[in-house]
Structure 1
Amino acid sequence: MSTTAAPDRFVLPPSARSGLGTRPFGVYVHVPFCATRCGYCDFNTYTAGELGTAASPESWLEGLRRELDLAADLLGGPPPADTVFVGGGTPSLLGAEGLAAVLGAVRGSFGLADDAEVTTESNPESTSPEFFAGLREAGYTRVSLGMQSTARHVLRVLDRVHTPGRPVAAAKEARAAGFAHVNLDLIYGTPGERPEDLRGSLEAVLDAGVDHVSAYALIVEDGTALARKVRKGELPAPDDDVLASRYELIDELLGAAGLHWYEVSNWAATERARCRHNLGYWLGGDWWGAGPGAHSHVGGVRWWNVKHPARYASVLAEGEAPVAGHELLTDADRHLERVMLELRLVEGLPLSALDDDGVREARAAVAEGLLTERGIAEGRAVLTDRGRLLADAVVRRLVA
């Protein structure tokens, strides 16, 4: 992979634009604002106290509009967006009116496909029935709510400020406002979490009646407050065996309730309930990532924006793309990423995507209970339940 700093003027090569529109095309919008900073989070986010007067939601939104217009020019007439995902940070801090303005900017620069999926992440504490009604009126079709846990002591370790019951109430409000597709996020393996804590969280998820659940093992990221506590011995690091048992519990309870895995960390009630935006990532689609620190990919070129909201706005005010660096993916890079991402899906990876050594390893993995016999018989590498727990190791074998 060839990585370079951004040129004075960022230009996409014609090879990247070739085939644009024949692959899924999405728009990701990064909202960098948070009311407080969670101890486990290493995302590009800023509290009001950290930003001071350097940047504001208003200057960010003006920069966003400029970036999206510039993106449309750089892409030479982009296809309408199949999916839009507003993430962060805490997008719900913008309120329904602010999020309507975000979607209006995307619609004005790119347009939306007739059946576009439009998602926003939200913190349950900054939502209300009126908020969800405003989102529906603006054109959002899907909401993703950060729940993490219903156990107070687990939320304290994660520095989450929402009350345990609020995510379920918010999910029900979203459904009452007309959202057919609502996701709840869980984090499992937090120090101090007991099996009964996770079971209680899952029971609350099912009570909420959502059609999608994302569940992620806690990762201790360098540079976070959580990492400092683990390093000092104030908290234990997550245990791999505990994480595996927690994952099995999640899959068991969600599956029994009709929510089935379609990606290693994601469960949906129906195929329609699957997150199409994330499927675009996993299936090698194109997307424009707008906002401070956002990453983009089009036709084998990947790039990322400057991180600080003030710098982001000032670069765009000068008429330049806010690109901090970019890389051209080699054939080997793209092959590795395809195996790594598609293998995580319930449909698995076509064996035709592997070389002869990879196919031999896939057949050996069947004997070890990591890939299904049926999948191999149908020409695909499909993870077993055990294989999902060891997905990264299986990937390394198939591309070695």
Structure 2
Amino acid sequence: MSSSTAPAATDALRHADDLADFVASSPSSFHAAGEVARRLETAGFSRLDEHAPWPAQSGGRFLVVRDGAVIAWVAPSTATTDTPVRIFGAHSDSPGFKLKPKPTTGRLGWLQAGVEVYGGPLLNSWLDRELRLAGRLVLDDGSSVLAATGPLLRLPQLAIHLDREANDHLALDKQSQTQPVWGLGPVESADLLAELARDAGVDAARIRGYDVVTADAARGATFGRDDVFFASGRLDDLASVHAGVVALERTAGDLAADHMPMLAVFDHEEVGSGTRSGAAGPFLADVLERIRLSLGADREQQLRALAGSWCVSSDVGHSVHPNYAEKHDPVVQPLLGSGPILKINANQRYATDAAGAAAWNGWCAEAGVTSQEFVSNNSVPCGSTIGPITATRLGIRTVDVGIPILSMHSARELAGVSDLWDLARVAEAYFRG
């Protein structure tokens, strides 16, 4: 970085470096939830136990973790029974591979990991890169511990000499050609779970269950002319999670607001969100109800609070790709480095409407950030995210936003450094109101 770099660019680069640390500490959804909680506890938030009574939710900072999901909020000292919330929503999981039962496999002298495809990864992007294993181990006493290896696995690609047409038709069989190697020797002499147990400092014989996924082992990095690009695994959607954490950290001292800032991070978005820790589950509704009950709200007051609330659902979207321009709308073409995006879909795959667009543009103006719009090419089906789910479950006003990226669902995705910082700045303006 040259000495002439503007202060705003310097802030953005610092933010990207902090994001690289955050992603490295969050190789699984469980680690991500734990890292969010760790950072917010350092910022003065108190962790609440779902099994215990909650204190009155006024004049404090609180968080609760459920598996790979976490919800944190600031309750201003002026909070009443119908004080609205401003939710910044994101998700902690990413496409990849998950360990199957009996994961220690192999043949022909190779040790391999038995994995199942999780979500919709770009399979070829996982080839020829070092991978970690990470997740939670549940022990014989019912306790859970987090575990994450260093670089351990690799999916080696077949040499071009053995498939001369590979560049014309590369397509991986999801069962036979996606089982990574992690060692040499007879299968009966090895135990893949022991590698995780060693990291967690527990006896492998005590493991009774596990939720373990793969993650790219390489740290996120900036590159390109003037360091405008940031590449990392799990930007979908840790880029949004990190932006929300940074914004909540920066606004946590503002307890005299007329609303409650809230960060809601869900698991399992990549597989439909239909779990107890997913956006389609009861987690957010449960937390909101318990907050209201702690304030003495009756049912009518709870509904009034929801009617006055907002949810900004933040997930990545597509930047226009210079090599595949025909895949994008011919007019609406968001570009890396030109600001966060407002996501729009006529069929409500995104929850944005006119009121949401106006509100989002207002928050961007307040933050001094330029926003872009995203809409799909009519011939290319549109994805979805947690926004419509949250709007449907709670009836809360919701707008879908994010940052533009390339290589979505790759093992290593590409974002614009300035966009990452701008998203956090808008989230902060949104929380401040």
Question: Which TM-score tier does this pair reach, normalised by the shorter chain?
Answer: under 0.3
What is the TM-score normalised by the length of structure 1? 0.26
Greater C-alpha radius of gyration:
2
Greater strand proportion: 2
Structure with larger RCO (C-alpha < 8 A, sep 6+): 2
What is the TM-score normalised by the length of structure 2? 0.24
